[in-house]
Structure 1
Amino acid sequence: MTETHPTTAPHEAVAPLPHWPYPRWVAHRGAGKLAPENTLAAFRLGAQHGYRMFECDAKLSRDGVPFLMHDATLQRTTNGSGTGGDLDWGTLAQLDAGGWHSRAHAGEPLPTLQALAHFCIANGYFLNVEIKPTPGVEEKTGQVVGAQCAQLWQGQAVQPLFSSFKPDALAGARSTAPHIPRALLVDSLWDGWLEQARALGCVAIVCNHALWDTALVARVHGEGMRALSYTVNDEWAAQRLTDLRTDGIITDRVDLFSPV
């Protein structure tokens, strides 16, 4: 993608972006790769490194409980097998979600989204909930996650930020929690991505960090949306995004980047 530098005539005022309450640095899945992803151990470790905002992945159990896990299947990050969304929460709660990572974390359970919400609210932390539905239940997952988050964060000054690669999931979340801000995740600039983000009332675009250039940042900011990046693990990439004046960086390297 060719980088361009749009100009603004001296007499033209650039509209300020809406208020953005979230920190610039976001710990990916809790603490990146330093702890088993999407477990409470990971979020505690990320907090110990000074991070105040976390990204997590939320999907539904068969009986409709939002829980944290990235993959559709259980094999990579638990001692279970098959599709996580095919099991009731009572079964999922008994799985070991830490032993795959290290002996120190053996026996770490899968957490519910509710448990992570209580941790974040009690400590004043911010949360980006990526709605990561099991294929086929995109809208329902968004609806349930939206309804639960609306209840959990009721009365809180800052709401979580929803994001998803799946527009139907964001639409579901909007139907049950229209006041909670939404962001569209994109790994490529597919036809209609910006129109889709507009239609969903998104406040941000979360891109693969390599997609951002001066023109794209200006385009997104010109829409009144924020520009966030995943997953940034190298200093040169973080510096490039800082120079481009993007608004948020999601990283695994909580040990490398100071969030202050």
Structure 2
Amino acid sequence: MQATRDPLAESAPAGPWPYPRWIAHRGAGKLAPENTLVAFKRGASYGYQMFECDVKLSADGEAFLLHDAELARTTSGHGLAGAMNWAELSRLDAGGWHSPAFAGEPLLHLDALAAWLQAEGQAVNLEIKPTPGTDRLTGEVVAKRVEQLWAGSEVKPLLSSFQSEALAAARDAVPSLPRALLLTEWVPNAVALALDLGCIALVVQHAGLDAPRIAEGHRAGLRMLTYTVNEPERAQALWSAGLDGLITDRVDLFDPRSVPGA
């Protein structure tokens, strides 16, 4: 009997993909204060072996984790995070906003995250999240620090960003680090944009992905990832369409040890 052709499989990029396919958003989704060490530990307790998180710079050039430009939503501080030195930032409460149980949890320095991830054998997608006006500086500094921190690691962090200037600066600073372009929606030149930046992957908001677009990326040699998927039906549809990686808040709902698409 002749085997059934699978056009999606035929279009998939050649070579091994070194990253787990299930990725926990900001550490543990929403079960713990995002981008803190306790969140990564909570995500790992559900079996996740890869995490997504946001990295920016303090005023004195230290790389630390925070999603927003402003401090108010997720810390006890106020104002622009990038305008403060790390010594000031490190004293803020980054857990009490979530729930009393996490009060006193500090902001997480990239160095501390790197130490924990490597000790636990975990992978990471570091989203370069520049303070407005610091795109190139943030991309360069983060890439150089990642090169130092993961010097002896076989699997390097996947650097991603919505900001093309930040990705270009990371590429120029450390060309060997893997990069991915983040998009809030699909655009006709999505694949070309990623290739121009020397990316190995596209990470697109899930509403903008379907089987033909995933196949288009694959034909160009890109891996195709998505965020933030929290519904089983949508996850199954995207895995069946040939998706390579899925970022989720629902670390308590999806089993990362399961075979995607099965």
TM-score range normalised by the length of the shorter chain: over 0.9
Tell me which amino acid in the other structure corresponds to 2:87: G
Equivalent residue for 1:130? 127
Runs of 5+ unmatched residues, structure 1: 1-7
Percent sequence identity over aligned pairs: 55
Stretches of 4+ aligned residues off by more than 6 angstroms: none
Equivalent residue for 1:242? 239
The CA deviation string for residues 177-227 of structure 1, in whole angstroms up to 9 with x for no partner, is 211100000012235332221111110000101111121011000010011
Identify if the C-alpha distance between structure 1 residues 217 and 89 changes in structure 2 by more than 3 Å, giving closer, same or farther: same
Equivalent residue for 1:83? 80
Tell me which amino acid in the other structure corresponds to 2:81: G
The CA deviation string for residues 66-119 of structure 1, in whole angstroms up to 9 with x for no partner, is 000000000000010001000000000000000000110000000111111110
Q: 1:21 aligned to 15, 18, 22, which one?
A: 18
1:95 paired with 2:128, answer no
Q: 1:34 aligned to 31, 34, 42, which one?
A: 31
Equivalent residue for 2:223? 226
Please give the TM-score of this superposition, normalised by the length of structure 2. 0.93
Contact 1:165 1:186 in 2 (8 A): yes
How many matched pairs? 251
Q: 1:139 aligned to 136, 152, 164, which one?
A: 136
The CA deviation string for residues 41-74 of structure 1, in whole angstroms up to 9 with x for no partner, is 0000000110000001000000000000000000
Identify if the C-alpha distance between structure 1 residues 223 and 100 changes in structure 2 by more than 3 Å, giving closer, same or farther: same
Equivalent residue for 1:57? 54
- SS of equivalent to 1:73: coil
Contact 1:50 1:258 in 2 (8 A): yes
- Whole-Å separation in 1 of the counterparts to 2:139 and 2:148: 14
1:196 paired with 2:188, answer no
Equivalent residue for 1:257? 254
1:216 paired with 2:213, answer yes
Please give the TM-score of this superposition, normalised by the length of structure 1. 0.93
CA RMSD, 1 decimal: 1.5
Equivalent residue for 2:102? 105
- SS of equivalent to 1:59: strand
- Whole-Å separation in 2 of the counterparts to 1:72 and 1:95: 15
Tell me which amino acid in the other structure corresponds to 2:32: A
- Whole-Å separation in 1 of the counterparts to 2:188 and 2:254: 34
Identify if the C-alpha distance between structure 1 residues 16 and 84 changes in structure 2 by more than 3 Å, giving closer, same or farther: closer
The CA deviation string for residues 113-158 of structure 1, in whole angstroms up to 9 with x for no partner, is 1111110011110010000000100010000000000001112111
